[in-house]
Amino acid sequence: MIMSGTEQMEWNGNHGNHVFDTMPLIPLQSLPRACPPQMKVPPTSCGIYNYYHTHCVSVCQVSHRSTQRLVNVTVRKQEQRWWDRLTLQERKPLFLAPDFDRWLDESDAEMELQAKEEEKINKVSIESRIRKDPYLGLKKGYLFMYNLVQFLGFSWIFVNMTVRLFILGQDSFYDTFHTIADMMYFCQMMAVAEVMNPLVGLVKTGVFPAMIQVVGRNVILFVIFGSLEEMQNKAVVFFVFYLWSTIEIFRYPFYMLACIDTDWKLLTWLRYSIWMPLYPLGVLAEAIAVIQSLPIFDETRLYSIPLPTVLGSSFSFSFTLKIYLALMFLGLFINFRHLFRQRRRRMRSRKRKMN
Ligand SMILES: CCCCCCCCCCCCC/C=C/C(=O)SCCNC(=O)CCNC(=O)[C@H](O)C(C)(C)COP(=O)(O)OP(=O)(O)OC[C@H]1O[C@@H](n2cnc3c(N)ncnc32)[C@H](O)[C@@H]1OP(=O)(O)O
């Protein structure tokens, strides 16, 4: 115990069922030293214990923490009630100086309770204002089911392709279309909902990026792969489908969790990060598919528009596809920028939540 000339003790508060005291540098000899036999505590604590035990109104347990300058004492009250005074004697001992910063009397406690009650009421009223939309449950239910179905569809595609890749190796590249196309048709037809959802205000995101995404994929799937048999056994189908499904097995579960107001750190990070390598790779694979299809369209004259003889024999669809090729890179740029902004917004709001 550190000794000093001062004999002042601060009386720090009469809080709930505890009393907190700070005793700066009390000469130990001024406190009774004898410990009750059952107490196995250092002499300092005994002194403090005895002080409270003999002087306080009602004490059941005394604990203390000492620093070089102070001894902080916590006295647990035997009964949970407000004390009229600290010590048995009516006059406050001279060395007790109440610390009003931490002092809490009955009216303070009532005010604290009232403030807590008000805070609770405010929270409930804000929540009920947010939940005003009577169809919110229905909307979230629809979105959850939509995302679940898409997640299952793309997971089936991803797992199927991965297993086939392990078993058949490179041979699996060439019949990807015949094994996967039906499921991909289903998922990509459903994906039209992704343009409709923001249009009707179900999700708060831009219609245009979703349109670029859905139209872009469906041109490749239905026009390039779907209508040209010659394209269906090319290896590029494997890369396009694999890249599409890799992003979706993270994106859809992320949306599912968002529907139930849940956020898994790793999943959120994956949803907002893996598009960075996957999107350019996906568009590159799609561009290769378009380039490979050009001579086939020229040869078969599929979707060519017959023209009057003065203007030439026909307007080849491959010309439209060449323009589309340029549009693909423009689309990539627009969506890359959109996704980058979404990522920044999401990561920022997450940081704010953590602070
Ligand atoms: C006019 C047509 C012109 C056509 C021109 C064609 C040109 C074609 C060029 C491009 C071709 C691209 C083809 C595609 C290739 C590939 O896919 S390659 C593989 C990699 N791909 C990707 O990484 C892209 C994945 N796709 C997407 O990310 C989206 O489709 C998106 C539209 C590009 C971006 O999504 P978006 O919804 O805008 O952003 P998010 O941050 O995810 O969502 C915003 C908020 O909305 C909520 N939300 C969205 N959808 C849902 C949902 N289904 N369910 C529930 N909630 C949803 C989401 O939770 C967010 O909410 P908050 O967090 O509260 O803001």
Contacts of 31 (CB under 8 A, 6+ apart): 47, 48, 50, 51
* DSSP SS3 for 175: helix
Cα of 182 vs centre of ligand 1, distance in Å, is 22
Q: Which residue has the higher pLDDT, 92 or 119?
A: 119
* DSSP SS3 for 75: strand
To which H or E segment does residue 17 belong? none
pLDDT computed for residue 4 by the predictor:
30
The ipTM of this complex is 0.96
To which H or E segment does residue 305 belong? strand 305-306
Rounded to 5°, the CA angle 136-137-143 comes to: 90
Atom from ligand 1 closest to the CA of residue 327? 7
Task: Please name which of 301, 281, 255 lies closest in space to residue 154, comparing C-alpha atoms.
Answer: 255
Contacts of 226 (CB under 8 A, 6+ apart): 181, 185
Structure tokens, 122: 């405010």
Domain ranges of the chain: 9-101, 106-132, 136-354
pLDDT computed for residue 63 by the predictor:
65
Cα of 163 vs centre of ligand 1, distance in Å, is 27
Q: How confident is the model over 77-101, as pLDDT tens digits?
A: 666 666 666 666 666 666 555 666 6
Q: Contact, 289 vs 233, CB < 8 A?
A: no
Mark whether 230 is an active-site residue. Answer: no
CA 53 to chain centre: 52
Residue 18 has a CB neighbour count (10 Å cut-off) of 14
pLDDT at 231 over 80: yes
| Mean pLDDT for the stretch of residues 171-195 | 97
| Termini Cα distance of the chain | 41
Ligand 1: which residue has its CA nearest to atom 44?
Answer: 205
Longest dimension (CA), the chain: 120
Rounded to whole angstroms, the Cα distance separating 66 from 1 reads: 9
Q: Which residue has the higher pLDDT, 94 or 139?
A: 139
Cα of 118 vs centre of ligand 1, distance in Å, is 41
Residue 62 Cβ inside 6 Å of ligand 1? The answer reads no
Rounded to whole angstroms, the Cα distance separating 23 from 40 reads: 22
Residue 253 Cβ inside 6 Å of ligand 1? The answer reads no
Contacts of 108 (CB under 8 A, 6+ apart): none
Q: Contact, 175 vs 233, CB < 8 A?
A: yes
Out of 194, 248, 286, 324, pick the active-site residue. 286
The model's confidence at residue 122, banded by pLDDT at 50, 70 and 90, is: confident
Structure tokens, 23: 């005793």
Mark whether 279 is an active-site residue. Answer: yes
Cα of 194 vs centre of ligand 1, distance in Å, is 8
Which class in CATH covers the domain with range 9-101? mainly beta
Residue 205 Cβ inside 6 Å of ligand 1? The answer reads yes
Rounded to whole angstroms, the Cα distance separating 254 from 154 reads: 14
pLDDT at 56 over 70: no
